[in-house]
Each structure stands twice: as C-alpha cells, then as structure tokens.
C-alpha cells in the first residue's frame, strides 16, 4: 500500500509543479488553488509512505515520478521542446525509479 500512495504522491507532485508554473507567481487564482491542494496532498502521501519505505528511496521515487511526468506533460503540450535525448533520459529516469522498487 505504501508504494501505491508513493506513486500517487509522485503524480500529485507533477500536478503541483505544473500548477505552480501556471499560477504566474500566485497571481492566477485557480492554478494557485490547485497548487495549494496538491502540494499538501503530495507531501502528506510522501510522509505516510516514508513510514515503511526508507527516506532516500521514497524521496528518489517521488521526485523521479514527479520530474518525469512534469517534463513529459510539458513536452506533450508544446511548452517544452521534444528531443530524442530528452525522451531517452526521461525513460532512464523511469527505469531508475522502477529499479528502486525492484531492489527494495
């Protein structure tokens, strides 16, 4: 169950990171609200998962999922340029996250 909560928290990290960018310095209300709600839920989930998953592993998985999804979303929406190197590096990041789960 801890791993499921951790993965959901990583997804929420991508949501709050994207909302933070769209909030334009907290000047746009809806992205700011989305940021506030999802950052709290993401942190609570991370903290809960860390009760049974070591801190280093949990944090690396949380950040890896959030980073991969954030840049993937940015590339899919055209905000960030797509390149083969970026895609391969993101796939490597995902592979590392999966590897951390497998060796846990």
For the stretch 8-65, pLDDT in tens is: 999 999 999 999 999 999 999 999 999 999 999 999 999 999 999 999 999 999 999 9
**Residue whose tokens read 């929406």:** 77
Q: Are 68 and 87 in contact (CB under 8 A)?
A: no
The DSSP output letter for 54 is -
**Could you give the number of structural domains in the chain?**
1
pTM for the predicted model, two decimal places: 0.91
For 4-24, the pLDDT digits (tens) are: 999 999 999 999 999 999 999
- What's the rounded Cα separation, in Å, for the pair 65 and 13? 8
Q: How many beta carbons lie within 10 A of that of residue 87, not counting itself?
A: 13
**What domain range includes position 30?**
2-103
Residue (of 18, 30, 3) closest to 100 by Cα position: 3
Residues with Cβ within 8 Å of residue 40, at least 6 apart in sequence: none
């Amino acid at each position: 169950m801890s791993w499921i909560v951790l993965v959901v928290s990583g997804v929420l990290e991508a949501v709050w990171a994207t909302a933070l960018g769209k909030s334009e310095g907290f000047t746009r209300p809806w992205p700011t609200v989305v940021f506030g709600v999802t950052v709290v839920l993401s942190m609570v989930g991370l903290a809960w998962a860390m009760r049974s998953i070591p801190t280093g592993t949990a944090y690396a998985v949380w950040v890896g999922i959030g980073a991969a999804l954030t840049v993937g979303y940015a590339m899919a929406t055209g905000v960030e340029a797509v390149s083969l190197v970026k895609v391969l590096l993101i796939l490597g990041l995902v592979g590392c996250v999966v590897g951390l789960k497998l060796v846990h």
